[in-house]
């Protein structure tokens, strides 16, 4: 079973080209599942142990200390692994498909107000000779200005930048499915990228990563954890009204586009969502904001009210009294 797991993880990484972050998550979830089987059975796990009973026992062990989202992620990993075992002929059926996913709370990441986003990106200003400060400014512009996932941001290479007439388009390798999409970046974002590129050679040196766009201080590709920590620090430094990570900037990107009247289909394409329903959940607005947009956009929302018309029942009562 352990060998089958290693073969499956290698297939994820090299076969379907899942991101390193995804493979790490699958490894952690599946190794925990196999460790639980070994602890309960007192022997190494085998493919025959992929049963409803064992899966439910594992989820039951996780339940006290894990959120529903973690339980759902663990079940998804086991389902995918079970499907791999079935395809390889190691099990007859994938019993993980017989278990329902835990009910998920309907929560959304926080979206920062526009003024907080402006403060985060524009200040404190980077020093003229500080490559790390220019890099962080460019990353914030990409996360908010293009709505990228953090894995997509750190996965950008120099040859993913497409300059045409001073305008910049990013070729994004999607974190989910490894498909390509093209995302435009506004003039401010393009200027921030250009300013960073001027000092990038100081980070790369003579032995640094020659492909990666964003480098750490050792000249290697920047990791997603470093980006998260940078965004959190920026929130604190600029007094943002909520502490958000890179995903919060992506949510702010989508929310602010929707508030400005951008249609959902366009937002769906920019975010790289396969389903429009995902975009609809992602860009939920409160009723007050929806009303504001309606009053600004609907052709009849702000027309002056005409003379009040009596209701049919009131008219009939008036006629009846006059006749009597």
Closest CA to 172 of 185, 162, 181: 181
- Which helix (DSSP H) or strand (DSSP E) does residue 105 occupy? none
Catalytic residue among 27, 66, 228, 247: 247
Q: Is 247 annotated in the active site?
A: yes
- Whether residue 124 is preceded by a cis peptide bond, meaning omega within 30 degrees of 0, is yes
Q: What angle do CA 215, 143, 238 make, to 5 degrees?
A: 95
Q: Are 143 and 244 in contact (CB under 8 A)?
A: no
Encoded tokens for 214: 């964003």
> From start to end of the chain, where are the E strands?
161-164, 167-173, 180-185
Q: Is 273 annotated in the active site?
A: yes
Catalytic residue among 149, 234, 251, 256: 149
Give the bridge partners for 163, in sequence order: 168
Encoded tokens for 125: 């200003």
Give dist(CA 192, CA 187) in Å, integer: 9
Catalytic residue among 160, 176, 221, 228: 176
Q: Are 249 and 143 in contact (CB under 8 A)?
A: yes
Phi, psi of 194 (to 5 degrees): -65, -40
Catalytic residue among 79, 250, 251, 256: 250
Indicate which residues carry an active-site annotation.
Answer: 149, 176, 247, 250, 273, 282
């Amino acid at each position: 079973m352990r060998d089958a797991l290693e073969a499956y993880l290698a297939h994820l990484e090299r076969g379907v080209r899942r991101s390193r972050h995804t493979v790490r998550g699958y490894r952690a979830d599946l190794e925990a599942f196999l460790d639980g089987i070994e602890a309960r059975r007192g022997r190494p796990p085998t493919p025959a142990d992929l049963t409803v009973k064992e899966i439910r026992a594992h989820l039951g062990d996780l339940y006290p200390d894990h959120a529903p989202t973690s339980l759902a992620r663990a079940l998804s990993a086991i389902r995918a692994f079970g499907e791999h075992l079935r395809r390889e002929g190691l099990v007859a059926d994938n019993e993980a498909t017989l278990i329902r996913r835990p009910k998920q709370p309907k929560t959304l990441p926080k979206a920062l107000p526009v003024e907080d986003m402006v403060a985060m990106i524009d200040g404190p200003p980077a020093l003229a000779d500080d490559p790390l400060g220019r890099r962080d400014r460019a990353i914030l512009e990409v996360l908010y200005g293009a709505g990228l996932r953090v894995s997509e941001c750190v996965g950008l290479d120099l040859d993913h930048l497409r300059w045409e007439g001073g305008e910049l388009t990013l070729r994004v390798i999607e974190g989910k499915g490894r498909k390509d999409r093209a995302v435009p970046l506004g003039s401010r974002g393009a200027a921030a990228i250009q300013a960073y590129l001027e000092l990038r050679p100081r980070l790369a040196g003579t032995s640094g990563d020659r492909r990666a766009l964003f480098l750490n201080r050792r000249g290697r590709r920047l990791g997603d954890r470093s980006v998260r920590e940078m965004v959190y620090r920026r929130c604190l430094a600029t007094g943002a009204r909520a502490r958000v990570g890179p995903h919060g900037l992506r949510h702010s990107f989508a929310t602010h586009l929707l508030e400005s009247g951008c249609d959902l289909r366009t937002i769906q394409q920019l975010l790289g969502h396969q389903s429009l329903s995902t975009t609809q959940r992602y860009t939920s607005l409160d009723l007050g904001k929806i009303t504001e947009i309606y009053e600004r956009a609907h052709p009849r929302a702000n027309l002056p009210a005409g003379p009040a018309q009596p209701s049919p029942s009131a008219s009939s009562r008036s006629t009846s009294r006059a006749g009597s």
